[in-house]
Homo-oligomer: A and B are copies of this chain.
Amino acid sequence: MIKVDTSSFVPIYEQIKKGFKKEIFRQDLKPHDPLPSIRDLATELLINPNTVARAYRELEMEGFIYTKKGKGCYVSDDSTQRMTEERKSILARTFDDVIEEAKKYSLNPDEIKKFFEERLARSLEGTKRGE
């Protein structure tokens, strides 16, 4: 399910792109699966169809989806492969960002590690109970 945070600095169309890339990577969306129609998703997210259209257009330019005019947008054949290529660098960057953030606040690497594991454990508990 795609979510969007309109108060974030990240543009909405980027959040949508990211959302679908994750779904593709997790294989919640498999090759040739249809994406929601532009108008439907726009309605659901309470945003303008043009914004969704831009996200879809860029996903197509990057090769993750393809468009059948008048029919809809579908996940590409080689989408999973593309994601695997992108995934490592995305994750690495995300972790590096948070580490740099944490280093600035707490300095001690052991503290960072401990804090991270604490949050991770907490997050897993939440998952076990449902979510």
Interface of A, secondary structure class, is helix
**Shortest Cβ distance from A94 into chain B, in angstroms?**
5
Cross-chain contact of A91 among B11, B95, B105 (Cβ < 8 A)? B105
Instruction: Please report the C-alpha to C-alpha distance between residue A61 and residue B62 in the assembled complex, in whole angstroms.
Output: 10
| Oligomer copy total | 4
Q: A9-B14, A14-B9, A48-B70 are in contact. Are A119 and B105 (CB under 8 A)?
A: no
User: A120: which B residues are within 8 A, CB to CB?
Assistant: 95, 99, 109, 112-113, 116
Task: List B contacts of A92 (CB < 8 A).
Answer: 119
Distance of A108 from chain B, by nearest CB (Å): 11
Q: How many residues of A contact B (CB 8 A)?
A: 43
Known A104-B26, A105-B87, A105-B90: A95·B70 in contact at CB below 8 Å: no
CB–CB A119/B101 < 8 A: no
Which residues from chain B contact A105 at a C-beta distance below 8 Å? 22, 25-26, 87, 90-91
In contact, A99 and B123 (Cβ under 8 angstroms) = yes
Asked whether A100 is an interface residue with its Cβ less than 8 Å from the other chain, the reply is yes
Whether a CB of chain B sits under 8 angstroms from the CB of A4 is: no
Q: Which residues on the B side are within 8 Å of A98 (C-beta)?
A: 94-95, 97-98
Chain A to chain B contacts (Cβ below 8 Å), 16 pairs: A6-B69, A25-B105, A26-B107, A48-B70, A91-B115, A94-B98, A94-B102, A96-B119, A96-B123, A97-B98, A98-B98, A99-B119, A99-B120, A103-B127, A113-B117, A116-B120
